[in-house]
Amino acid sequence: MQWRNTPARYGLVSITLHWLAALAVFGLFALGYWMVGLSYYDPWRQTAPDLHKSIGLLLFALMLLRVLWRLFNPTPMALASHGRLTRLASKLGHGVLYLGLFGVMISGYLISTADGRGIEVFGLFSVPATVTDIPRQEDIAGAVHQYLAWGLVILAGLHALAAFKHHFFDRDNTLLRMFGR
């Protein structure tokens, strides 16, 4: 398999970035959903949020890399069987997924840095707090983070269902291309 995309298929870099992002999104959602229910005395009460923040910041770096890769390595052309509406829905859906991802990550950063402290990433380095003077920053960013996270997971689920629809009902190569075939 080649590294770069071709007009007909995705390359190894695009495929890897896609699946790593998908795994991180669903993993972070599950971790976030679980950790908000932890009691004060739970041993994971501090560890789970630290893990969530660290993975979230790594996802942010991965998504920046993904956007750069996409700018300099265009995606394959739409399949000939895809009509105008399908192509438009694909572009809009991907755009909303990207915006939602960045919105969730930025709001998470704003929650975590509202008190002026940076975010430790697996104890290796710290990302400084740069925006700390928004009134009720933690509360507002928290609400945005929660709603965007739910919206993102629902939209990602619809994205997966659309890929399955293309594979099982339309019998086209949409899904197979994201597996390098």
At 179 the pLDDT is 83
All structural domains of the chain with their residue ranges: 12-177
Q: Packing angle between helix 84-112 and helix 137-168, nearest 10 degrees?
A: 150
CA dist., res. 13 & res. 3, Å (int): 6
pLDDT of residue 78: 86
**Per-residue pLDDT for 7 more than 90?**
no
Residue whose entry in the numeric block shows the structure tokens 């994205």: 159
Q: What percent of the chain has pLDDT over 70?
A: 100
Q: Distance (Å, rounded) from C-alpha 28 to C-alpha 86?
A: 30
The CATH T-level fold of domain 12-177 is Fumarate Reductase Cytochrome B subunit (1.20.950)
Give pLDDT, residue 177: 85
pLDDT tens, position by position, 124-160: 999 999 999 899 999 999 999 999 999 999 999 999 9
The Cβ of residue 57 has, within 10 Å, a number of other Cβ atoms equal to 20
Q: What is the mean pLDDT of the chain?
A: 94
Q: Which of 18, 162, 11 is nearest to 98 (CA)?
A: 18
Distances (CA, A) of 57 to 31, 112, 125: 15, 11, 11
Residue 61 buriedness (CB in 10 A; 0-12 / 13-18 / 19+):
exposed
Confidence of residue 178 (pLDDT cuts 50, 70, 90): confident
Residue pair 53/119 in contact by the 8 Å Cβ criterion: yes
d(CA 62, CA 98) in angstroms, rounded, equals 12
pLDDT tens-digit readout, 62-103:
999 999 999 999 888 888 888 999 999 999 999 999 999 999
* pLDDT band of 8, cuts 50, 70, 90: confident
Alpha helices in the chain (DSSP H): 12-35, 44-72, 84-112, 137-168, 174-177
**In a 10 Å sphere around its CB, with 0-12 CB exposed, 13-18 middle and 19+ buried, how is residue 161 labelled?**
exposed
| pLDDT reported for residue 152 | 97
The predicted pLDDT at position 176 comes to: 83
What pLDDT is recorded for position 68? 96
Q: What is the pLDDT of residue 9?
A: 87
Q: What span, in angstroms and rounded, lies between the C-alpha atoms of 163 and 175?
A: 5
Given a contact cutoff of 8 angstroms between Cβ atoms, the answer to whether 173 and 79 are in contact is: yes
